[in-house]
Structure 1
Amino acid sequence: MRRKIFKKLVMDEPKEPKINEQPNTKDIDLKKQNISSQIEDNLQTFKRMFSVPKNTDVKVREFTIPALKRRAFIIFVSTMVDLEHIKESIMEKLLKDEQTSTKIQDIVSYPMSKTATNIGEITDFISGGVTALFVEGDSQCYLYETTKIHGRSIEKSANEVIVKGAKEAFNENVVDNIALIRKKISNENLIAESQVITKRSKNSVFLVYEKDLVNDEILQSIKIKLATLNADKILDLSILEQYLEERPRSFFPTLLYTERPDRAAAFIEEGHIVLLMANSPSCLVLPTTFWALMHSPEDHYLRTPYGNFIRLLRFLALFIAIFASPFYIAITNYHVGMIPPDLLMAIAGSRERVPFPSIVEILMMEIGFELIREAGLRVPSPIGPTIGIVGALILGQAAVQANIISPIVIIVIALSGLSSFIIIDGSMNFAIRISRFLFIFSAGIFGIYGVMALFTIGLFYLVSLRSFGIPYFAPMTPHFSSSKDLLIRHIPINEKFRPGYLKPKDMVKQRKG
């Protein structure tokens, strides 16, 4: 009896509705068709495509054009257009012009306009902030560039701060970003080429380059890579960067991410390709080498001796950030004989009451420093720096007084942490911070031999990296003819060649006479 009741309950249980996982093939097929010359058909088609009136920010206005004595309607996304512009430059001219005319172009002399016939193409334009005009009897649609998307104005660079040089930074408006580059490169050979990279969101990327410099093979490989992306949406360059990398699990970046238009323009003039996207306050530079990631735009704005001093200081900071903590562990644990007697006695005295081995001390303080660093970035800006400074002072002082950490470890960690801040590129900064932990473990297990073994393996690994076919350590290895702007920057008058590894169409950038 119980089994019958249970079976009846199971049979009577309401079944979950089947979810249709197939795409709307009817709309897909409709996008491939051309518009009709019948205005009612077009009106119903685009109301359906944009779910009007459910979609509240999509506006449709029907009217009659007196000069043509024909019905018409316009459709636009109100949140992405300049409404005053539509009213004054399009609607008033269409409704108030009473002269007999046969062409829309004679009535609306709009500076940025085009025509289209494909439904899918027109839909994409409307979604991007373009106003579409449909006229009875016409088998084409009139499109007017009325886009007005609110965003930030051009501000100073927040992450790549320099003392001397340009202060402008990219914002989220891709039109402004292209204009900032064109302002610095007044050349008819500068190309801003658009390419759609996603299926559903129709996100576009702009390839900016100089056609008389760029290597066609590199340009074609980048276009093929972008064309083969199989994604519904890529909303930002930071996400696109992860799609384009050849080794996405690598610690070290192979693409350069910058928010400075002057830096982007300098790379374009060398023969590189820059990628821009709407809603991204930055650009990607392709291809990229290790040296480009370590250089700063300020190196070229300063006089040669000053710029070289800062650059050498940056490379020194790179080694301090990676090796300070590992060398301390290796020497105090395995190679005590390398330390002078007086310094050895000082270290031994400071560690006399510390209960932990040196590797535990270093790991505790490294993790604590990383926590304070991230906390200072995430909290609101007025109190962020205060938290970082106060937190480091309080934790360090309290740990020393409690005999948990020796004072010399505080010095080593502070020197290592401050050195990492000098690295200008954010991705390279992360790579150095992660690599430091690997070297700490290798030093704790094998001493200096472990550090040197890991360093050798790391060099082999870095040499194997490529960015769109370009070796990571070029032009040092393999060697190419170039301006030799690596560790030392020569005076500008001696920088006569563009990077040879890019194989630009014009290798010489400075000629005699």
Structure 2
Amino acid sequence: MRKRMTKLLKKSLNTEPEFKEETNAEEIEIKKQDISTHIEKNLDTFKSLFSIPNNADVKLREFTIQQLNRKAFIIYISTMADLKAIMDGIEGPLIDSEHPSTKIQDIVSYPLEKTATKIGDITEFITAGVTALFVDGDSNCYLFETTKIRGRSIEKSDNEVIVKGGKESFNEKVIDNIALIRKKIKNENLLVEAQKISKRSRNSVFLVYQKDLVNDDLLKNVKERLNSFDIDSTLDLSILEQMLEERPKSLFPTIVYTERPDRAASFIEEGHIILLMENSPSCLILPATFWAMFHSPEDHYLRAPYGNFIRILRFFALFVAVFTSPIYLAITNFHVGMIPPDLLMAIAGTRERVPFPSIVEVLMMEIAFELIREAGLRVPSPIGPTIGIVGALILGQAAVQANIISPIVIIVIALSGLSSFIIIDISMNFAIRITRFLFIFSAGFIGIYGITALFIGGLFYLVSLKSFGTPYFAPMTPHSFSSKDLLIRHIPMKERFRPGYLKPKDMVKQRKG
């Protein structure tokens, strides 16, 4: 009996509570209906749906169309619509026009976007900034694309800074972002598909790809993943990124996040799919590989020798950022025989009066470095760099003089921290910084053997990762046909093929002359 009660109690604890939706069922039913031909009924319906006059920025204006001698009204959200266009192109002509035509689209001077009959569809258009026109006796609602949302202009990218190449970056207006991509890819095969992914906020995600390049199975996979969401709101691409990943708890990202339209365009030209959203100054690139996280647009803008030099330096910095502190710990604690006698005596001399073991020293300074880095990012920009430089100098010097930290640890931590700044991808940067702490603990536990074990285990884990069916280390392993743009890039004339792991419809991007 006791065992049965225990099982029932565990079952009840593991069951998610069920919450009933308290939304007005009558309102939901109204949205499923078509509009009435009687204008008074439509007035009452939309006043109720938009809580007019309590809703301050929703405007409803009644008037009579002189040419038709029929009552009408328009409804729009004043904070999202172009008021001058509404007055001059829609409302003005309808009231004052003496045009002999009986068709609305012939009377107004503003282009008619479309017509709709279902109340739910019309409310969605209005909340997106569209102006809706209702005419007495007409079973259709006329919709005009008057959206004019204020926002930031096109500026430079703050997170992906390059010396040579384009300086434009995405902003919060998806119309501008799509235009930036179309400016770089002037091709009729470039498709922009809109897909709603949330119920209440009605957020849309835009899939951008080239239909004559993208693999149909990949496109179907992405669309199915987007359709599988049953959520009320997704306000930003950063949240969508976490929902799309197969392993959202993984340290290593499997989707490329970028603010640069030139980088997005280059991936589209290879057969990738990118995702855009309103209010997000960035895009997501699907699928992604380990190599895409480390490549920078500047690698291709520079001449091949210069670009390869920067790329090799970046990969070297990756190993310095991850292994400098762990190797110092491993050698000084477990493998002192590897150090030349003179260097060993110098290290021992600097640590003679330090009361803490090496791992405590390293962890204290690593955490201090991370605190200074985050403080420099969060404070206002004029004093941010000052906090970073002055804080590091004062903290390091004071720690050494107080015999809390040895000078060589300051050098090790500074070299490791500075190297991590070279990694441009934000998510990969975080992954490397967190991985460094894991290697520090493994080195403090069993030295080089701990580092080696964690490194091999990490490689096994990374090889198991996939991004929408694409192996993380492709095309290196499993090997697939590509332009071999991995560690070393070739001159542009030799990069003739698109990545084979994407299975694009056209593999050749540059024919021989």
Name the TM tier (shorter chain).
over 0.9
CA contact (8 A) 2:359 2:444 kept: yes
Query: Where does residue 399 of structure 1 map in the other structure?
Result: 399
The runs of 5 or more residues in structure 1 that have no matched partner are 1-18
User: 2: distance between equivalents of 1:175 and 1:137?
Assistant: 35
Query: Where does residue 341 of structure 1 map in the other structure?
Result: 341
User: 2: distance between equivalents of 1:112 and 1:152?
Assistant: 28
* Shift in Å, 1:26: 0.9
User: 2: distance between equivalents of 1:264 and 1:22?
Assistant: 42
Report the AA paired with residue 67 of structure 1.
Q
Query: Where does residue 14 of structure 2 map in the other structure?
Result: none
Query: Where does residue 319 of structure 1 map in the other structure?
Result: 319
Q: CA 1:178–1:433 in structure 2 vs 1: closer, same or farther (change >3 Å)?
A: same
Report the AA paired with residue 434 of structure 1.
I
* Shift in Å, 1:20: 8.1
TM-score using structure 1 length: 0.96
Q: Superposition pairs for residues 73-472 of structure 1, below 5 Å?
A: 73-111=73-111, 113-472=113-472
* Shift in Å, 1:413: 0.1
* Shift in Å, 1:102: 1.4
Report the AA paired with residue 228 of structure 1.
S
User: 2: distance between equivalents of 1:490 and 1:247?
Assistant: 33
CA contact (8 A) 1:325 1:412 kept: yes
User: 2: distance between equivalents of 1:396 and 1:112?
Assistant: 67
Query: Where does residue 4 of structure 2 map in the other structure?
Result: none
CA contact (8 A) 2:105 2:112 kept: no
User: 1: distance between equivalents of 2:110 and 2:194?
Assistant: 23
* Shift in Å, 1:112: 5.0
* Shift in Å, 1:21: 4.5
Report the AA paired with residue 321 of structure 1.
A
* Shift in Å, 1:137: 0.8
User: 2: distance between equivalents of 1:489 and 1:101?
Assistant: 64
CA contact (8 A) 1:251 1:431 kept: yes
The runs of 5 or more residues in structure 2 that have no matched partner are 1-18
Query: Where does residue 11 of structure 1 map in the other structure?
Result: none
User: 2: distance between equivalents of 1:190 and 1:202?
Assistant: 25
Aligned residue for 2:269, secondary structure, equals helix
Query: Where does residue 11 of structure 2 map in the other structure?
Result: none
* Shift in Å, 1:110: 2.5
Report the AA paired with residue 407 of structure 1.
P
**Segments of 4+ in structure 1 off by > 6 A?**
none
CA contact (8 A) 1:68 1:100 kept: no
Identical columns (%): 76
User: 1: distance between equivalents of 2:111 and 2:437?
Assistant: 59
Q: CA 1:277–1:112 in structure 2 vs 1: closer, same or farther (change >3 Å)?
A: farther
User: 2: distance between equivalents of 1:317 and 1:118?
Assistant: 58
Task: Encode CA deviations 1:266-300: one digit per residue, 9 max, x unaligned.
Answer: 00000000000000000000000000001111000
Report the AA paired with residue 466 of structure 1.
K
Report the AA paired with residue 213 of structure 1.
L
User: 1: distance between equivalents of 2:401 and 2:57?
Assistant: 63
TM-score using structure 2 length: 0.96
User: 1: distance between equivalents of 2:216 and 2:27?
Assistant: 38
Task: Encode CA deviations 1:141-196: one digit per residue, 9 max, x unaligned.
Answer: 00001111110000001100000000000000000000000000000000010000
Query: Where does residue 42 of structure 1 map in the other structure?
Result: 42
Task: Encode CA deviations 1:450-500: one digit per residue, 9 max, x unaligned.
Answer: 000000000000000000010000000000100010000011000010000
* Shift in Å, 1:91: 1.1
The number of residues matched between the two structures is: 495
Q: Superposition pairs for residues 20-31 of structure 1, below 5 Å?
A: 21-31=21-31
User: 1: distance between equivalents of 2:372 and 2:255?
Assistant: 28
User: 2: distance between equivalents of 1:496 and 1:242?
Assistant: 34
User: 2: distance between equivalents of 1:436 and 1:476?
Assistant: 24
User: 2: distance between equivalents of 1:207 and 1:417?
Assistant: 37
